[in-house]
Amino acid sequence: MKIAVVGTGYVGLVTAVCLAHTGHEVRCLDRDETKISLLRRGVPPIFEAGVRELMEENKNSLIYTADPGEAIPGAEVIFICVGTPERADGYANLAAIYESAEEIAEHADRDCVVVVKSTVPMGTNEKLEKLLSSRIRRGIRLEVASNPEFLSQGTAVRDMLSGQRLVLGVESETAEAVLRRVYREFDVPILVSDRKTAEMIKYASNNFLALKISYINEIANLCEAVGADVETVALGMGMDERIGNRFLRSGVGYGGSCFPKDTKALHWLARYHDFELKTVKAAIEVNENQKIRLIKKARRYYPCLEGLNAAVLGLSFKPGTDDLRDAPSLQHVAVLLDNGVHVRVWDPAAMEGFRRLFTGSVRYCSSIGEALKDTDICFILTEWEEVRAFPLVMFPRLMKRPVVLDGRNCFDPGAAREAGIVYDSIGRRP
């Protein structure tokens, strides 16, 4: 099929390369010329495993362009994969969605299905269809369908090609049939619903996962108070299939471009309809506190933080990405700096981005060893493999005083103690 994908961020590009991989001809549209010129040279502008390889393998079925007049005409299916960032009031900013619609309306020249992959509030697809129908050339039949993505950064290609479900939110059999043809080669269970339900499935899923994380984080904090071990608690809970064993890793809270914005957007939407989503509100509050949990802990070891030398290992919101959006490290480092702490950071992927946000005041280190040298305290904020594999004996050798506060439970507390480390993690006995 001839498919256009609007937006080449991680959702758009992953969608495009996976669709090309399954036999479609895909034209990718992005207004950012720099991204387009990188893509034309075979370089993905995002940090995502497997994308470069699929771009190379399917280069004959992929076209990259900044010109809607090249991307849209002839397309039977047009995917909208643009960002819906958080507005100042917490709601989703839909400007990019409506700008894409303008381009589609101007250039579509045949009957087509416009598929919204971006996370959008309930009712957006309907509004979009009205807008498109009022602008599109006479005689062209156009339908809008909701097909939310469930891609995690770092595993997005795998999540797309062999995910756990495809949700098709459609209002007609024609749109359903077109989408079924798009995904003909995918071996993934399909759930068909109306559009608003599909939009809600996406929000409800992300909000539920955020709730699960905030819940285990609260349980972890309570475990510390009563002397229980959260890892074993999570294991025991997860053995019950009704609970499930995933997304029960306690830590310094969730970050990234999805959970923080989607929880706030759903909360906003509920308020707009005159009620409060109390559980979601609590999850947001718990997460905000959890992001600086280790700083509260640090005061147990140093009542006054001023003048300390601190190492921060890991800056991205999770391993396998350079993404810093809503990463716990942002708030954590800002609070350390406010308290007069000298901060050194290390991260294998996200330091360039961090440098743009924290200029001057932070020292950037090219190795874990360099970051730890002569420090009074170390904070672990992202569970990069390099951190997990770092020999415990090196902490006391390198640090002035080996106080290690581990926000991602990377090490065994017994082994850390034996290595001579003052080790404190999340939800486990120090």
The residues binding ligand UGA (CB under 6 A) are: 119, 149-153, 206, 209, 213, 247-249, 251, 254-256, 258-259, 317-318
Which 3-state string (H, E, C) describes 110-121? CCEEEEECCCCC
In DSSP notation, 130-169 reads HHHHHHSPTT--EEEEE----PPTTSHHHHHHT-S-EEEE
Q: Residue 198 or 248: which CB sits closer to ligand UGA?
A: 248
Q: Residue 249 or 267: which CB sits closer to ligand UGA?
A: 249
- Estimate to the nearest angstrom the gap between the alpha carbon of 271 and the chain centroid: 25
54 within 8 A of 20, measured Cβ to Cβ: yes
- Of 258, 365, 378, 410, the active-site residue reads 258
In DSSP notation, 227-266 reads T--HHHHHHHHHTSTTT-SSS---SS---SSSHHHHHHHH
How far is 378 from 396, CA to CA, in rounded Å?
11
| Shortest spacing between CB 124 and ligand UGA, in angstroms | 15
The closest alpha carbon to 76, from 103, 113, 104, 125, belongs to 113
| Shortest spacing between CB 174 and ligand UGA, in angstroms | 27
255 annotated to bind ligand: yes
367 annotated to bind ligand: no
| Shortest spacing between CB 283 and ligand UGA, in angstroms | 11
| Shortest spacing between CB 247 and ligand UGA, in angstroms | 4
The closest alpha carbon to 354, from 383, 316, 398, belongs to 316
β-bridge mates for residue 80, sequence order: 6, 116
Q: Residue 219 or 394: which CB sits closer to ligand UGA?
A: 219
How far is 211 from 281, CA to CA, in rounded Å?
9
81 is catalytic: no
| Shortest spacing between CB 122 and ligand UGA, in angstroms | 15
3-state secondary structure of 336: helix
Q: Residue 58 or 206: which CB sits closer to ligand UGA?
A: 206
| Shortest spacing between CB 423 and ligand UGA, in angstroms | 20
Q: Residue 317 or 390: which CB sits closer to ligand UGA?
A: 317
Q: Residue 105 or 248: which CB sits closer to ligand UGA?
A: 248
127 annotated to bind ligand: no
Helix, strand, coil shares of the chain, percent, nearest 5, are: 45, 15, 40
249 annotated to bind ligand: yes
40 annotated to bind ligand: no
The closest alpha carbon to 324, from 290, 294, 296, 355, belongs to 355
Q: Residue 107 or 408: which CB sits closer to ligand UGA?
A: 408
247 annotated to bind ligand: yes
| Shortest spacing between CB 419 and ligand UGA, in angstroms | 25
382 annotated to bind ligand: no
For 85, counting Cβ atoms within 10 Å of its Cβ (0-12 exposed, 13-18 middle, 19+ buried), the class is middle
278 annotated to bind ligand: no
For 213, counting Cβ atoms within 10 Å of its Cβ (0-12 exposed, 13-18 middle, 19+ buried), the class is buried
287 within 8 A of 214, measured Cβ to Cβ: yes
H or E stretch covering 430: none
The annotated binding site for substrate is made up of 202, 247-251, 255, 318
Active-site amino acid positions: 258
The annotated binding site for NAD(+) is made up of 30, 35, 84, 119, 261, 325
